[in-house]
Structure 1
Amino acid sequence: MNLSLKTVVLALGALGTLAVPAMAEDPLVIGVASGQTGILSPWDLGGRRGAEIAVEDINARGGVLGRQLKLVVSDTKSDPSLGPTAASEVIAEGAEMVIVACDYDFAAPAAMTAGGMGKIVFSTCAADPKFGAQGIGPTAYTMSLATNGQGALLAEWAHGQKGWKTTYIMKDTAIEYTKSLCEHFESRWTALAGADSIKGRDTWNGINDNSIAGQITRIKEVAGSVDFIMWCGFTNNGSVLRQLRSAGVDNPVVGSESMDGSYWLGAVPNLSNYYIAVYASIFGNDPDPKIEAFMKRYQEKFGEAAPMGHVITGYSAVEAYARAIEKAGTVESDKVKAALDAFKNEELLIGPTSYEPDLHINLNRPLLLMQMTDGKYTAIGRFSAEQVERPKF
């Protein structure tokens, strides 16, 4: 049988078309617009790396709705004014969801920009309850435990587990998180121990103040009647706690997850009588085997230990988003939002996670209490508050 060249070419072309499988869908892009460098890098770089591990895990299971996940990153350099540009850059690269900084003040500009473009937004760990539908927009969520829950948890633990009756409150006024933490701690503590149990209050600005000499003088005046110091602060170099201990103030100090991390501990050698509530231990002694396995993977992948327990918030932000897409059956933001709003104790690496249509932050998830003695942490156990005030917007 004689076939023309044209007929042969057409036949081969048809066979080729049949033989080539359909192209897989484009990757599902998740953007990161946060402080990979600068003051927030211990939180935000670690959070991004946690997100990378989540992307690897989800892709190994086949992705989401048949699509592989892809992470793109733009560094805000811990400068809130660069947030809108960073958010716009990752969205221009196709991001359907944007992960922003681990703090309301630093994250808000990027989050509002991404939310304004109709994207789902996750802060890894902004804990001020304004991060959400009210303070950012209807598609904004945070993986954090709200300061409402953190403050109440620490008050209940100090009063009920330790049996302490008096406190001195130190509040960093630099960011909304620390101010809100102290507000909710004091509210719950006063309900438990009475107003007279607070032997003093003081403030400092963790960004602008290098010395707390005056505050230390006032603490020392009443230190003998103070069971513990409630420390509503965050630290980048340990200098403020070093000043306290160097001045001979040895009262127990209780801090929250903003004081997590190993990177500053060298500034306060052999620190003792120090307690902290964290998302996860980075010291090889977390009671949860899933978290221990994650921390080992982190070290193997990045060649260093996780800087703080917040790395699991980046993992769980991706985990939650992927879970919501699967429930919604689509990446359309309004339907993903509805799926997120229906989360009721959804089991994630970070723990049981719940959202509501008007509350995009967790109130009751447990935190891990840890104690430091002679510069070494031991895990006490995970606790959650029994009574937590709902945010008043």
Structure 2
Amino acid sequence: MTATVSGLMAEIADTGRDDARGGYSRPVYSTAEQDLREWFSEQARRRGLDTGTDSNGIIWAWWDTPFGVRDDAVVTGSHLDSVPGGGAFDGPLGVASALAAVDLLRERGLTPAKPIALAVFPEEEGSRFGVACLGSRLLTGAIDPDKARNLRDPDGNTFADVAAAAGLDPRHVGPDPDALGRIGSFVELHVEQGRGLIDLDQSVGIGSSILGHGRWRLRVLGQGNHAGTTLMEDRHDPMVAAAGIVTAVRDCALRHPGARATVGRMVPVPGGTNVIASAVDLWLDVRHADDAVTAAVVEAIHAESLRVAAAEGCTVRLTEESLSPTVHFDPALRSRLGGLLPGAPVLDTGAGHDAGVLAAALPTAMLFVRNPTGVSHSPEEHVEDDDAEAGARALADVLQGLAGKG
């Protein structure tokens, strides 16, 4: 029986609900994300796919050819973790669509000439350890394994310890050339995180590129003190400086057309209501299609931060946490998708994806499914059932075209 995307999504609709924030909170290797990983593995096994987890925590589910040779595979998939209070579709839509596409291909009687694999990547959002697409970065060698092992979550747990508790051996995380060598192409389906398909009145689009983006941490250092005994004129308050820096971030981005700069998280130390903070950490996200502009925006933000902090008698340090240049998806593969999906518009995106990391090592492409709200990383993110099923059919068409007709 062919499963629908909406039916599969309904099965996980209660997993990781966040009553405080709204939406879903599914950080990597949390109970919610682990439950989703088991759900996917069980769904894959039901379909007769050979399923297992590699040393980097990536789940693979294989539909082999009659010859059983895993070479030049066509791979699809996405992620199951979320940002805090995120929407239902960011990540899981691509996973559910991959499962539904397998059902559609079986219904069509396909015998693949190339193996087809489904993949689920951990920590795509970077919401727990601060580095987006950590699983695909480890797989490709885009992050040093020692750096990854020593990443810490907000509670101070290292990635090594959390990975070990999840059943991985952290000594073995890192580049896996054998796994990469089995992949001929990777196609990721994802909910669109913007208004491109809304404005074009289309259900499904093809990705052209991912805007360059990075994450930085600004640490503002001041003088911690008592909120009741310290006169206003005697303060060196990093929270006041941080507030000015947030405004400076917006202003710097506005001076560069097309740039996006965001402070999405700010944490005072020690964080008491009646305490003037001694330090404030701000996490900065900057994106632009031109990597030189991204660098210029960050440089301008740093300069403004130094000025704002000095005016409050504070100092500031800037640390790069991750940086991904603009990615242009493989032109030949994108052209093949265009032939398989005639009329599908071609769109760029400002959101990062595992397909963007993998693009440095192999041909990758993306499909986007319309989001009628245009809102993502929020409970308002949405996909209509008809569009979800259209996305699964498009993905099945692509997999059939790339893996060969039986």
Q: Answer yes or no: same fold by TM over 0.5.
A: no
TM normalised by structure 2 equals 0.28
TM-score (ref. length: structure 1): 0.28
Q: Relative CO higher for 1 or 2, CA cutoff 8 Å, sep ≥ 6?
A: 2
Q: Which has the larger radius of gyration?
A: 1
Higher relative strand content: 2
